[in-house]
Amino acid sequence: MGFLRIEAVSRVFPGVRGGAPTRALERTDLEVQDNDFICILGPSGCGKSTLLRIVAGLDRPTTGRVLLDGQAVERAGPDRGMVFQSYTLFPWLSVKENILFGSRSTEAKAAALIEKIGLRGFENHYPKMLSGGMQQRTALARALANDPKILLLDEPFGALDNQTRALMQELLLGIWEADRKTVLFVTHDIDEAIFMANRVAVMSARPGRIKCEVRIALPHPRHYTMKTSPEFSAYKAQLTEEIRVEAMKTAEMAPA
């Protein structure tokens, strides 16, 4: 019995101005155990963000349902923390005030998280004074401060440069290794998925569905040097093949 259960969830967006409806997500099932770290990997436009938004309660499925800890998800709520790809810090609040925004956040939790994400000394800065990486670290702290049952991440490092992105991955992984908070992480970056996840769910091209699941048996704690190990390369070769077929379908090219 999974902690998070996605049962036969699909999403069809109605056609615009009499156009044909868009099938964004085929019937999808996924189970996530408590304390697990799952990456959903897929080419752009495969509906992976739609799936995450349905789990968050920001979108409703056309069929199926999502259960979290036995409770059906009806709307967005503080038990599912989310970090978005776009910068969503509230511009009128300081770093500390942003982290305190959540209904279950406290001063003590905020102080500890500011320490953990390395933003001491920046508590009273406004978001516009921060770099992209600092903003996303604050967004992560804001979600964690609310103590959600599950953390949903929608390509949170997608807009960052490569070096910053690698550091952010290590930071998030370090936090997970310490707290074992259940995480559902959406990405199109294969290296990111292998490095972070215990299990990678690969999505097919539109209309998206989960075509296969790959268990990543790399030991924890993981160090960035692992990215050059033979085991890592083997996973990468396997997932690259899976993704390449789907990316070609999206680009409407036949496999070579």
Partner 1 sequence: MLEPLKPVSRGARIALGAAFFVVFFAAWALATFGGAIDAMFLKDPLYTLTTGVTLFREFGFIRDVGITVFRVVGGFVLAALVAVPLGIAMGAFKPVEAFFEPFVSFARYLPASAFIPLLILWAGVGETQKLLVIFIGSVFQVILMVAVIVGSTRRDLVEAAYTLGADAGGIVRRVMLPNAAPQIAETLRLVLGWAWTYVIVAELVGAESGIGHMIMDSQRLLDTGQMIFGIVCIGVIGLVSDLLFKWANQRLWPWAF
Binding residues for partner 1 (CB under 8 A):
56-58, 75-78, 80-82, 84, 86, 88, 90-93, 101-104, 126-128, 139, 142-143, 146, 152
Count of CB atoms within 10 A of residue 218's CB?
A: 15
Compute the least distance from the CB of residue 224 to partner 1, in Å. Answer: 29
Compute the least distance from the CB of residue 158 to partner 1, in Å. Answer: 14
Amino acid of residue 42 = G
Select 62 or 88, whichever has its Cβ closest to partner 1.
88
Compute the least distance from the CB of residue 244 to partner 1, in Å. Answer: 31
Select 17 or 75, whichever has its Cβ closest to partner 1.
75
Select 138 or 198, whichever has its Cβ closest to partner 1.
138
Compute the least distance from the CB of residue 194 to partner 1, in Å. Answer: 27
Select 76 or 237, whichever has its Cβ closest to partner 1.
76
Select 90 or 224, whichever has its Cβ closest to partner 1.
90
Give the C-alpha separation, 134 to 206, whole Å.
33
Degrees to nearest 5, angle at CA 207 with 202 and 213: 15
Instruction: Calculate the CA 84 to chain-centre distance.
Output: 8
Q: Is 210 helix (H, G, I), strand (E, B) or coil?
A: strand
Indicate the DSSP class of residue 166.
Answer: H
Degrees to nearest 5, angle at CA 246 with 186 and 153: 5
Q: Which two tokens stand for residue 160?
A: 């960052």
Contact by Cβ (8 Å): 42, 210: no
Compute the least distance from the CB of residue 146 to partner 1, in Å. Answer: 6
Give the C-alpha separation, 215 to 168, whole Å.
22
